[in-house]
Amino acid sequence: MIVLGIESSCDETSVAVISDGKLVANLIASQDFHANYGGVIPELSSRAHLQIITPLFKQALEKAQITKDAIDVIAATAGPGLIGALLVGLTFAKGLAYSLSKPFVAVNHIEGHIFSGFLMEEKPQFPFLGLVVSGGHTLLLIVKSELEIIRLGTTIDDATGEAFDKVAKMLGLGYPGGPKIQALAEKCSKPDFSFPVARTKNEYDFSFSGLKTSVLRFLQTNYENALPPEEDKPCIARAFQDAVVKALATRAEKALKNHDVKSISVVGGVAANLGIKSAFENLAKKYGKTLVMPSLEFCGDNAAMIALRGKQLFERGVVSPLNFNAFPALPENYFRKVAE
């Protein structure tokens, strides 16, 4: 079976092909020009997706050495994401499904991330503790099977990646901030100050807005115009990153104490962070679990994870209607909440 995956929820256009369970193409075109504006400009994003999607689709077929008639199933991200950006990939996929008379599967972008560990050689084992850390979402989950995902916690304000990007902006580092903060943090091994990790009513929830404010206060108190000199930036970045890592790891550790899982899988753009990786390696070792973190190619937005999720759903009988609408936000109770 050949599954085509299409992703266009934010600033990456991506087309992937899975053939007989093997990933044979995963092309990703990143819209780097948003860096000039300090963040993603939705309208420019939609236009760029529109320009690149057809050539990228053709290149993916070439890479996979197939013609479009060989495709059996077409999967595309339907949400959450930027509505105009989503519409480009989704409409392209639906048009293709219609013209080829092939089934279409609408994929939830977050579910794509959740199962992205299955693109790795060593796969998570059910049930696993899932932590989604991306630019738009932060979710702690128990993933019991391909169809049963239970939400333990989520962020009550900013997403993890959003906090990285905002603090990077305060330090004058540009967008996207995550990799820049990480690079700076590596230059400081032990800051002589720390930022607080917020408590939340639900012990599995996250909150990063207070941390962001603490960094801002620190900058305002210690530097003229809140702008630190270059030599002070590494330890500020390190203290911020350490606080984020602590917030993620303490929630995950609580979950490991209270839930019987076989693996841990940390996914999403922020899972590329080496500080997070090393903290979760320690946790996995301490609790005797296997840790699956996708490689860089599969941490950020990519169509391989969309093709994979589309394949999982299709194999369980899911086919979406061609009038399936794009949705910008994750519905409030999308993942069933565990009884507290």
Site residues for ligand KG4 per CB under 6 A: 10, 134-136, 161, 164-165, 176-179, 182, 268-270, 272-273, 300-301
Is residue 301 close enough to count as binding Zn ion by CB under 5 A? yes
Question: CB under 5 to 8 A by kind: which of Zn ion, ligand KG4, none does 327 bind?
Answer: none
Question: CB under 5 to 8 A by kind: which of Zn ion, ligand KG4, none does 171 bind?
Answer: none
Instruction: State the DSSP code for 11.
Output: S
Q: How far is the CB of 122 from ligand KG4 (least distance, A)?
A: 21
Q: How far is the CB of 151 from Zn ion (least distance, A)?
A: 17
Question: CB under 5 to 8 A by kind: which of Zn ion, ligand KG4, none does 234 bind?
Answer: none
Is residue 242 close enough to count as binding Zn ion by CB under 5 A? no
Residues 6+ apart with CB under 8 A from 98: 322
Q: Which residues, in sequence order, are bridge partners of residue 267?
A: 132
Tell me the C-alpha distance between 14 and 308, whole Å.
Answer: 13
Q: Cβ closer to ligand KG4: 183 or 322?
A: 183
Q: How far is the CB of 269 from ligand KG4 (least distance, A)?
A: 2
Residues 6+ apart with CB under 8 A from 260: 127
The b-or-e profile of 276-301 (16+ CB within 10 A means b, else e) is beebbeebbeeeebbbbbbeeebbbb
Cβ atoms of 262 and 128 within 8 Å: the answer is: yes
Q: How far is the CB of 77 from Zn ion (least distance, A)?
A: 9
Is residue 134 close enough to count as binding Zn ion by CB under 5 A? yes
Is residue 160 close enough to count as binding Zn ion by CB under 5 A? no
Question: CB under 5 to 8 A by kind: which of ligand KG4, Zn ion, none does 179 bind?
Answer: ligand KG4
Helix (H), strand (E) at residue 182: helix 177-185
Q: Cβ closer to Zn ion: 134 or 320?
A: 134
Tell me the C-alpha distance between 186 and 205, whole Å.
Answer: 28
Q: How far is the CB of 298 from ligand KG4 (least distance, A)?
A: 10
Phi first, then psi, for residue 291 (nearest 5°) are -110, 130
Tell me the C-alpha distance between 208 and 327, whole Å.
Answer: 25
Q: Cβ closer to ligand KG4: 2 or 86?
A: 86
Q: In what order do the strands lie in the sheet with 138-143?
A: 290-292, 263-267, 128-133, 138-143, 149-154, 336-337
- List Cα–Cα distances, 157 to 32, 151, 162, 218, 268, in angstroms: 27, 16, 10, 20, 18
Question: CB under 5 to 8 A by kind: which of ligand KG4, Zn ion, none does 228 bind?
Answer: none
Q: How far is the CB of 103 from ligand KG4 (least distance, A)?
A: 26
Which span sits near Zn ion by CB under 5 A: 52-60, 71-79, 134-142, 286-294?
A: 134-142
Question: CB under 5 to 8 A by kind: which of ligand KG4, Zn ion, none does 307 bind?
Answer: none
Interior angle at CA 284, CA 246 and CA 282, nearest 5: 55
Q: Cβ closer to Zn ion: 138 or 320?
A: 138
Q: Which residues bind Zn ion (CB under 5 A)?
A: 134, 301
